[in-house]
């Protein structure tokens, strides 16, 4: 039997034509971007529950989200907060892309790839309380459909009546980077023309925070919340939980040109590896992350000297920041000293399964607006973290190629490459 040869020239080119973003620093791309380039932190005291008994009492909450702006009351009651975020961001992305989906058509060429790392934590806790206090008959019949992680993609499919590939990645904190990479591959391989891709997370709940607290993974800088997330700084003491959603419209380039869509950037590379090392800790050699970067650039056909900007995973944990720095050096070699690297988590907090989508959005906007967002709170650089992390202030630069790194518990590593069209 003759081998099938998938030549890159026969694959579709894929572009980003719409952005929907819900974050602690802004809802909608304009508010989000303005906050990033001005160095605004979204971290503050937790308000969604009383954190008094917790060692960590701060998080990057989305405080100005009103689901009624996008959903009716019946839909809201039947969706966990993470799904509300996802569907709302998807509607925002379609509006931004001027994409009108005809619900009377079959729409087998439009799909959704929406990730979450944890899913319906809030629903789980609320319904468990009802079980204990009121008995099993009082647990909501919508408990399971509200809880499960695939409901973000499913509810988007239901809302827009899209019948193409509907999938969900759940690779912890690299989940939405995987979801965007998977959507990119689906379009490239001509399985769809348009994909709504990204991720959503809403795990700032008592159980969510307690779990990470007891792992000693979170910052305890409770008296200085705006300064708590400080990637690559010698005084970093852990990550800050964030929440929100990012949904991108990924589209076949020819289709986008045909309908005269606004194009933010082209997606050109997808690389992923596994650490095979530990359930939570990173391999400190950085070699697996470096390979994910190399695979993404190889897929993109990009030379290491062409990379202008990297949006780092940059969690503000002792091990992660050092390991990622090593990985960038291994992958980019001498160019690692020239490339700009920043962690927007310093402002948004760590949005867990939604982090990759939020950060790929930042890369697309950096390309479109010719500005690199900063790493805030980088007051005393760690000597082991010795790259150009764009400290404190945004930097004007005509970004031609940007890379986004994502890593997740269990050893999931993902790198997505974008370029200016």
Active site residue 173: yes
In the structure encoding, which two tokens stand for residue 89, read together?
């961001």
Active site residue 350: yes
User: What pLDDT was estimated at residue 280?
Assistant: 86
- Distance, in Å, from the CA atom of 200 to the CA atom of 219, rounded to the nearest integer, reads 22
Give, in degrees to the nearest 5, the angle at Cα 32 between 227 and 162.
Answer: 130
User: What is the DSSP code (8-state) at residue 64?
Assistant: S
SS3 122: helix
User: What is the DSSP code (8-state) at residue 389?
Assistant: -
SS3 27: strand
- Distance, in Å, from the CA atom of 297 to the CA atom of 419, rounded to the nearest integer, reads 11
- Distance, in Å, from the CA atom of 274 to the CA atom of 174, rounded to the nearest integer, reads 11
E strand spans, 105-239: 110-115, 166-167, 194-201
User: Which one of 173, 229, 351, 363 is the catalytic residue?
Assistant: 173
Q: How many helices (H) and strands (E) does the chain have?
A: 13, 15
Give the pairing of strands 14-23 and 26-27: antiparallel
Contact assessment for residue 307 and residue 213, using Cβ atoms and an 8 Å cutoff: no
Give 366-393 pLDDT, tens digit per residue: 999 999 999 999 999 999 999 999 999 9
Give 314-355 pLDDT, tens digit per residue: 999 999 999 999 999 999 999 999 999 999 999 999 999 999
- Residue 229 in this model has a pLDDT that exceeds 90: yes
- Residue 5 in this model has a pLDDT that exceeds 50: no
Give 165-220 pLDDT, tens digit per residue: 999 999 999 999 999 999 999 999 999 999 999 999 999 999 999 999 999 999 99
Bridge partners (DSSP) of residue 112 are: 166, 196
Give, in degrees to the nearest 5, the angle at Cα 334 between 331 and 335.
Answer: 75
Give 47-70 pLDDT, tens digit per residue: 999 999 999 999 999 999 999 999
Residue in this structure with the two tokens 């319906």, named with its chain if needed: 120
40 Cβ contact partners less than 8 Å away, ≥ 6 residues apart: 25, 347
User: What pLDDT was estimated at residue 10?
Assistant: 65
- Residue 400 in this model has a pLDDT that exceeds 60: yes
Among 100, 303, 270, smallest CA distance to 185 is for 270
Note the pTM of the prediction, 2 decimals: 0.96
Element (H, E) at 282: none
Provide mean pLDDT across the span 112-135.
97
Among 242, 172, 199, smallest CA distance to 354 is for 199
User: Which one of 313, 351, 363, 385 is the catalytic residue?
Assistant: 313
- Distance, in Å, from the CA atom of 328 to the CA atom of 322, rounded to the nearest integer, reads 10
- Residue 264 in this model has a pLDDT that exceeds 80: yes
- Residue 8 in this model has a pLDDT that exceeds 90: no
Active site residue 397: no
User: Which one of 350, 363, 385, 412 is the catalytic residue?
Assistant: 350
Domains of the chain: 15-258 (3.40.47.10), 270-419 (3.40.47.10)
Average pLDDT, the chain: 96
φ and ψ at residue 246, rounded to 5 degrees: -135, 125
Give 85-119 pLDDT, tens digit per residue: 999 999 999 999 999 999 999 999 999 999 999 99
């Amino acid at each position: 039997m003759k081998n099938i040869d998938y030549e890159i020239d026969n694959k579709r080119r894929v572009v980003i034509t719409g952005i929907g973003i819900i974050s602690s620093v802004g809802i909608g791309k304009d508010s989000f971007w303005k906050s990033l380039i001005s160095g605004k932190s979204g971290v503050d005291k937790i308000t969604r529950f009383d954190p008094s008994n917790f060692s960590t009492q701060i998080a990057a909450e989305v405080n100005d989200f009103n689901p009624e702006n996008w959903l009716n009351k019946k839909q809201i009651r039947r969706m966990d907060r993470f799904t509300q975020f996802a569907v709302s961001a998807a509607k925002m992305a379609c509006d931004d892309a001027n994409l009108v989906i005809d619900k009377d058509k079959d729409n087998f060429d439009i799909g959704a790839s929406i990730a979450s790392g944890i899913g319906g934590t809030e629903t789980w806790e609320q319904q468990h309380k009802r079980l204990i206090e009121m008995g099993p008959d009082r647990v909501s019949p919508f408990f399971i459909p509200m809880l499960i992680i695939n409901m973000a993609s499913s509810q988007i499919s239901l809302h827009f009546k899209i019948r193409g590939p509907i999938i969900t990645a759940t690779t912890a904190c690299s989940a939405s980077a995987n979801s965007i990479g998977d959507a990119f591959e689906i379009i490239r391989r001509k399985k769809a023309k348009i994909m709504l891709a990204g991720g959503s997370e809403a795990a700032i709940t008592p159980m969510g925070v307690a779990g990470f607290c007891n792992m000693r993974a979170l910052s305890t800088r409770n008296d200085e919340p705006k300064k708590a997330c400080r990637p690559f700084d010698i005084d970093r003491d852990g990550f800050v939980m964030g929440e929100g959603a990012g949904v991108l419209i990924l589209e076949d380039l020819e289709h986008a040109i045909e309908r005269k869509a606004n194009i933010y950037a082209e997606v050109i590379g997808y690389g992923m590896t596994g650490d095979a090392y530990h359930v939570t800790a990173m391999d400190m050699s950085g070699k697996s992350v470096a390979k994910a970067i190399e695979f993404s650039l190889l897929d993109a056909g990009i030379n290491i000297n062409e990379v202008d900007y990297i949006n780092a995973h940059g969690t503000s944990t002792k091990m992660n920041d050092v390991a990622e720095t090593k990985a960038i050096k291994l992958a980019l070699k001498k160019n690692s000293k020239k490339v700009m690297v920043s962690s927007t988590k310093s402002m948004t907090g760590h949005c867990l399964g939604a982090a990759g989508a939020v950060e790929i959005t930042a890369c697309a906007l950096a390309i479109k607006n010719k500005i690199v967002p900063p790493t805030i709170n980088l007051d005393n650089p760690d000597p082991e973290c010795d790259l150009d992390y764009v400290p404190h202030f945004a930097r004007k630069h005509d970004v031609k190629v940007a890379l986004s790194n994502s890593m997740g518990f269990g050893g999931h590593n993902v790198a997505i490459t974008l370029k200016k069209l």
